[in-house]
Amino acid sequence: MSYVSNSKKYLTMKYNKCGSSGLKLSAISLGLWQNFGYSDSFENSRDLIHKAFDLGITHFDLANNYGPPAGSAEENFGRILKQDLSGYRDELVISTKAGYTMWPGPYGDWGSKKYLVSSLDQSLKRTGLDYVDIFYHHRPDPNTPLEETMSALDLIVKQGKALYVGLSNYKPAETQKASAILKKLGTPCLIHQPSYSMFNRWIEDGLQDVLEEEGIGCIAFKPLHQGLLTTKYLNGIPKDSRAAGKSVFLHSEDITKVQLEKVAKLNVLAMERSQTLPQLALAWVLRGDRVTSALIGASKVSQIEDNVGALNNLDFSSDELERIEQILASK
């Protein structure tokens, strides 16, 4: 049976203007960092993408190295796009990135023009796309002049291979300098993708101010701190969880008693707000309109449904915000 999307999907999703551009992003976006590679169930990946789009999520976030193995998330997404979503291409915002190791030798990593142009060409082949909507430089390169990296992003837009460009993992001063170069070239930076959650608040120390000054949108990855801001770990570490060995980015020793005590207190507040803990954490990230979109990951359809439910209650009282600050500051 051919896939037909939910005709009412745009009625309930919230769409936010991205920086000073004319582009709007769904307040919840789906990241394909994990659970979309060859080692995962293709049918489950397909169900996740269908559910996301049916709920009004229009932004799907990729990178050249997503999998595993690297490149396989783009290939699987390309298959799903061709089979099910080709007729909806103009309703989607599809992004990819380059900046981490992809192939051996001196041209398969970091931020040279050689690497970025070659990597995007490979990404377009894997996804079957003529262009991506957003192309990011995935991380700063200390050994390549910033002017070269930014000129590569400018070239990619002028070649028609991307509509917009963005940065990821850049610090405030780096972001400001990169933005100035891109503006001078005539290809302004659309968006910055930093990690941000209740347990990781580094962007509040300058980066958010730079983004507002420069007219750059913000999409937060790891808003649930890789599942720690859920109730998943309150009663031990599940065997199928990231902390049990499914991820090299989260280990059992990363989950401390102090963190779990904070999670338990935050969960009580979430229940008082008639929310789940993930919904509370996502609503908090989106508070104050300083974050354009929260980038979620998912391994189950129910997780996407729950996360999108955060949009039903995005308002916080001053007392609730103060209570959250007290919980996060506790030791």
Give the mean pLDDT of the chain: 95
**Is pLDDT of 110 > 60?**
yes
pLDDT of residue 248: 52
Confidence check: pLDDT of 93 > 70: yes
Residue 2 confidence (pLDDT): 87
Q: Determine contact, residues 310/282, Cβ cutoff 8 Å.
A: yes
Q: Domain range holding 188? A: 15-230+288-311
User: Of residues 302 and 237, which shows the higher confidence score?
Assistant: 302
213 inside domain: yes
* 286/92 Cα distance (integer angstroms): 21
Of the pLDDT bands very low, low, confident and very high (cuts 50, 70, 90), residue 252 is low
| Total residues found in the chain within this entry | 331
The model's pTM is 0.94
Question: Token pair for residue 242?
Answer: 């990231």
Burial 250-273 (b: 16+ CB within 10 A, else e): beeeebeeeeeebbebbbebbeeb
Is the pLDDT at 140 greater than 60? The verdict is: yes
In a domain, 316, yes or no: no
Percentage of the residues of the chain whose pLDDT score is greater than 90: 91
In a domain, 72, yes or no: yes
- Residue 318 forms part of a structural domain: no
319 lies in a domain?
no
Read off the pLDDT of each residue in 27-45 and give the average, rounded to a whole number: 97
161 confidence band (pLDDT: 50, 70, 90): very high
Rounded to whole angstroms, the Cα distance separating 72 from 212 reads 35
Structure tokens belonging to residue 37: 């590679």
The DSSP code sequence of 164-175 is EEEEES--HHHH
pLDDT in tens, 216-231: 999 999 999 999 999 9
218 within domain boundaries: yes
Total domains in the fold of the chain: 1
CATH number, position 77: 3.20.20.100
According to the model, what pLDDT value does residue 236 have?
65
Answer whether residue 327 is part of any domain.
no
How far are the Cα atoms of 21, 27, 196, 219 from residue 200, in angstroms, in the given order? 27, 20, 5, 14
Domain presence at residue 35? yes
